[in-house]
Amino acid sequence: QKEVEQDPGPLSVPEGAIVSLNCTYSNSAFQYFMWYRQYSRKGPELLMYTYSSGNKEDGRFTAQVDKSSKYISLFIRDSQPSDSATYLCAMGGSEKLVFGKGTKLTVNP
C-alpha cells in the first residue's frame, strides 16, 4: 500500500460547481497536511495547510482532515476556470513531505 493515495482524475466540472478532492494515507505518524496547486510546467504552490483533524477555510477553499480515517479533502466552492490545475495533497512530519499523484482539474466556462 502506498503511503499516500490520490485519484489522478482527470476531473472536469462546469464553472460554479463545488469540487471535492481527496487523499487517503496509511502512515499514522503524519502530522501536517497540505494541499498544493500546480499549473502545467510550474512548481507547486501551497494552498492550504493544517495539522489537526477538522476543517480549515480560506476563501473558496476548505480543507478537511480526518485522522481517524486517514482521509483528507479539499473543497473548492464556486469553481472558476482559473482553478484549472493539478492539485496535490502532501503530508508529513517536521522533515519530509510525501505527495499524492495529483488530481488534474478542469473547470469549464
Partner 1 sequence: GAVVSQHPSWVICKSGTSVKIECRSLDFQATTMFWYRQFPKQSLMLMATSNEGSKATYEQGVEKDKFLINHASLTLSTLTVTSAHPEDSSFYICSARELAGDSYNEQFFGPGTRLTVL
**Interface with partner 1 in residues 61-100 (CB under 8 A):** 88, 94-100
Asked if 65 and 54 touch (Cβ cutoff 8 Å), the reply is: yes
**21 in contact with partner 1 (CB under 8 A):** no
Map residue 27 onto helix, strand or coil.
Answer: coil
How far is 98 from 93, CA to CA, in rounded Å? 9
**41 in contact with partner 1 (CB under 8 A):** yes
Asked if 90 and 99 touch (Cβ cutoff 8 Å), the reply is: yes
Q: Between residues 16 and 54, which has the closer beta carbon with respect to partner 1? A: 54
Which residues would be at the binding site for partner 1 (CB under 8 A)?
4, 6, 8, 31-32, 36, 41-46, 49, 51, 88, 94-102
